[in-house]
Structure 1
Amino acid sequence: MKFHLALWFGKFINFLISMVDKSRGTNLAGEKAMKIDPLMVSHFKGIDPEKVLFITGTNGKSTTNNLINHIFKANGKKVVSNLEGANLIYGVCTALIKASSLGGTVKADYYIFETDERYVPVIREQLPAANLLITNLQKDQVQRNGDPDYIYRKLKDAVSGGDLRLFLNNDEPRTKSFDDDGKTVVTYGAEKHAEAFNKDASYVTMACPKCHHKIAFDYYNTDGIGRFHCVNCGHSSNAEADYSVTDADFTNRKFKIGGVDFDMPYDTPYMIYNYSAAAAVAKELAGISLEDSAKAFGNFKNVGGRFEILKYKNKTIKYMRIKQENPETLQTSINVMANDPNRKMVCLGLCPLVDLIPHYAVSFYAYDCDFSKLVRSDVEKYFCFSDHVCYDTVNRFIYEGVDPSMISVADTEDVNVIFKEIEEAETDNIYLITWLHTYEHMEKYIKEEGNK
């Protein structure tokens, strides 16, 4: 009876939210309902654990979840998922509340959930998923996570039972080291491509998760991910992943997996591991052929605007949405900008991280990144904006050797100020990194200007 009261209350909350804004309330119904029945997720009926997949990791969870959902639905599969990115147990509960009958039965072919790395053990206690995909484990959210090895240990405990089918990134050392823990292990990865790079010998990578000696990278396909080996114990990438992106052509936006041609929805190097992961899951979990997966790639649009193009007057603004809490995502974006040989303006809005108290406003992750290649490229000007952190960003460029006269600064996220600065640039090639809400305000501003 407690479960049914919680379920009906949750459905009522979802109804009220839908009357106001259907895009909101991704956690609320589940959070309130679970106050009535804390074990609510375990009480839903009709869910086969063999059809449940959790997607976790530092970077790429949302994109991989969205792409897998897109492939499955394009191939006639009914999926229950938390596409809005609410990846704690309340978000999973909300998705199940929406999908269930009034009696608590959920009918779907597959259940695919993005899950926060720290909460995989908690969610799996109530929803015993038989499948787990790990994207990567890197520095992230230091207030809550401390360091990547803390998350690694929590996940290690969660998978140690040996009852999971694991989908593992072949080219990321921490993730790949779970290959001894799964009932079944499927690896995904990418061959070396034109945007791959190396770092000089002075760069310290990471300790091997198995023996704690040094991990050496033969090359990086994206920051922190590439062909690697431990100098001591032999922990390494497999010579070939089970599912691997080959022949990546970023200019013509094409690649192959298993000899099958795929369209490349987004021509950025950090996306290729999402592509191979999605193809692996589709084939192994649902029996969707590579050919049928490839058909779905042609019209995939990522939810949440991870990489978007804005047209403003005579300017092309290339927006790159990143998680502003770790260096890997920022470094990848820096590499994308640096690899553009054309003259450009760089607009960097690193923001205060409003999370646990005290909020921290120093963009520590920028000091972990290598800006040298970007600084050596053809940059007309740098524009650093955001509340307070803008000055720290300016200092990071100055420490890299940028002439202060090339840097503008604004202690604000006012879109009028941002657009005014962009208008004054001579180049029409603008790169922008900022919070999603700032981007959305900019997008709205452009639409309003166009309607005048």
Structure 2
Amino acid sequence: MKALRFYVGLWLGKLAAAVINLIDKNRGTNTPGVVAMKICPNFLSMLKDIDYQKMVFITGTNGKSTSNNMFIHALKTAGKSVTTNLSGANLITGVATAMLHSASLTGHVNTEFFVFETDERFLPKIYKHLPAKNICITNIQKDQVQRNGEPDYIYKIIRDVLNKDVTVFVNDDEPRCKSLGAYAGRVVRYGVAKNDRSFTKDGFYDVGMPCPHCGHALRFHSYNIDNVGSYTCPSCGFSGGADADCRIDSVNYQAGTFTCGDRTYVARYTEPYFLYGYALCLALCNELNVPLDQVAASFKTFKNIGGRLENLSYKGKTIKYIRIKQENPETLQSAFDFVARDPEPKLLMLGLEQLEDFQPYYTNTFYAFDCDVDALIHANLERVICFSEAVAYDTANRLIYGGMDQERISVLPTDSDDALLDELDKFDCENVYLITWLHKYEELERDIPQR
């Protein structure tokens, strides 16, 4: 009976994928897996010919999609076959959909590598069915507090999956992440050396971090991105940022190059947060014997997921979109830093939105207060347009508390694209940045051509 349920789930899942593909080739990243697992809850466990030594899970708060897609691009450049959820459907049904696409009608999956971006909270469920031998953790930081509470909740979920049969790849520069190495059979550490864009913090709104071993306050010597860098615990000596097995060094932002070991790599993206994706990719390729010549070639041709950094043209203005994850101070800080590094006069449209995933809808903007806005405010910023039906005034207040002149702030308590673009029309500045969630960018991308 179990075998019958498996084959029915497999065939109907494939049929669902084929039907959806006829309707819209860009959809169907989750539903076929829902169908298969509804019919056969153990569908993933019953697939055949899977080499778990070549199965990789990539999880963590930030950077998992980029790291996942970067590694897959390296594998494909090297001529390897890969089963993956490249579309970013990172729940168990998204993984099941990816496996459905690769499986034969008899349930055999013959690709060489299996690489999956996995949602942190769903990692135990996915691992139960697919016991991957390689688990990568990018970082563990504040994110979706209405779901996750605080980072230690996610820390415990990941910790309980790790065991002596797993090789864990940990970010040596992120304290919680590094400490998880103690729970795996083998640990590979990766990181990024101090470079020209590393920084220190000593501001009123700066947020500290407790040592994951003893609970005392960590001391960060420098940061590469917020809460990721070189650190030491003065109490127990726990430290990171110096002894990674795979460390990126000699970063040249102008030339777009960095070194790792005795090799220099050319990369299309050299923002600090991308460097950690390259470091993890190199660590994985070293461990899984992917030729580094092919990896180097893949870095030159890798194209990041659409919607992370995009440009829109509007009435002679260039709108540079930077995607953020809502309620995530690290990605918001990285976006602020990106804007601040542009020395030219500029205008910023900043839309922090209400989260409507489940009721009561979430409108807390604490994550903006975790960010340092000083560099942003003093970076030739002519005006900020704060827009959002729910939290536009909260966003403006954060900038005012940071020292920005209220006269340089427009507040639009609306999500109307027309209202936002009408306000933009009032100003001559052609260098425009947009920081908001992906849904708003997609709305503007659709509506701007109609203006």
RMSD after superposition = 1.7
TM alignment of 1:94-109, pairs within 5 A:
94-109=97-112
CA contact (8 A) 1:206 1:215 kept: yes
Residue 106 of structure 1, CA deviation: 0.8
* TM score, norm. by length of structure 2: 0.95
Q: Residues of 2 paired with 1:448 and 1:271: CA distance? A: 34
* TM score, norm. by length of structure 1: 0.95
State which of 184, 190, 193 in structure 2 corresponds to 1:191.
Answer: 193
TM alignment of 1:51-200, pairs within 5 A:
51-159=54-162, 161-200=163-202
Residue 193 of structure 1, CA deviation: 1.1
CA contact (8 A) 2:13 2:32 kept: yes
Aligned to 1:385: 387
Percent identity reads 47
CA contact (8 A) 2:83 2:102 kept: yes
Residue 447 of structure 1, CA deviation: 5.2
Distance 1:201 1:358, change over 3 A: closer
Letter in 2 for 1:341: P
**5+ residue gaps in structure 2?**
none
State which of 336, 339, 344 in structure 2 corresponds to 1:337.
Answer: 339
CA contact (8 A) 2:193 2:242 kept: no
Distance 1:423 1:267, change over 3 A: farther
Q: Residues of 1 paired with 2:267 and 2:37: CA distance? A: 41
- Tell whether 2:373 aligns with 1:367: no
Aligned to 2:397: 395
- Tell whether 2:46 aligns with 1:43: yes
Q: Residues of 1 paired with 2:261 and 2:423: CA distance? A: 47
Instruction: Give CA deviations for 1:254-280 in whole Å, capped at 9, x if unaligned.
Output: 222223222222232111101111111
Residue 381 of structure 1, CA deviation: 0.2
Residue 417 of structure 1, CA deviation: 3.1
Instruction: Give CA deviations for 1:165-216 in whole Å, capped at 9, x if unaligned.
Output: 1111010000011222222211111111111110117644111111111111
State which of 225, 229, 243 in structure 2 corresponds to 1:226.
Answer: 229
Aligned to 2:29: 26
Q: Residues of 1 paired with 2:279 and 2:7: CA distance? A: 40
Moved more, 415-424 or 335-344: 415-424
CA contact (8 A) 1:351 1:363 kept: no
Q: Residues of 1 paired with 2:86 and 2:314: CA distance? A: 30
TM alignment of 1:146-295, pairs within 5 A:
146-159=149-162, 161-200=163-202, 203-237=206-240, 239-285=242-288, 287-295=289-297
Letter in 2 for 1:439: Y
Which aligned segments of 4 or more residues in structure 1 are displaced greater than 6 angstroms?
A: none
What SS class does the counterpart of residue 220 from structure 1 fall into? strand
Letter in 2 for 1:30: G
Instruction: Give CA deviations for 1:330-350 in whole Å, capped at 9, x if unaligned.
Output: 011111222222211111111
Residue 442 of structure 1, CA deviation: 2.5
CA contact (8 A) 1:143 1:356 kept: no
Moved more, 169-178 or 194-203: 194-203
State which of 282, 301, 304 in structure 2 corresponds to 1:302.
Answer: 304
Aligned to 1:15: 18
Aligned to 2:441: 439
State which of 346, 349, 356 in structure 2 corresponds to 1:347.
Answer: 349
Q: Residues of 2 paired with 1:380 and 1:201: CA distance? A: 23
Q: Residues of 2 paired with 1:284 and 1:304: CA distance? A: 29
Moved more, 71-80 or 242-251: 242-251
Distance 1:260 1:317, change over 3 A: farther
Residue 448 of structure 1, CA deviation: 5.7
Q: Residues of 1 paired with 2:419 and 2:251: CA distance? A: 39
Moved more, 59-68 or 413-422: 413-422
- Tell whether 2:316 aligns with 1:314: yes
**5+ residue gaps in structure 1?**
none
Q: Residues of 1 paired with 2:263 and 2:425: CA distance? A: 44
What SS class does the counterpart of residue 84 from structure 1 fall into? coil
Q: Residues of 1 paired with 2:374 and 2:340: CA distance? A: 9
Q: Residues of 2 paired with 1:242 and 1:316: CA distance? A: 41
Instruction: Give CA deviations for 1:3-51 in whole Å, capped at 9, x if unaligned.
Output: 1111111111111111111111221111222111111110111111101
Instruction: Give CA deviations for 1:219-242 in whole Å, capped at 9, x if unaligned.
Output: 000011001111111111152322
Letter in 1 for 2:71: I
Residue 404 of structure 1, CA deviation: 2.0
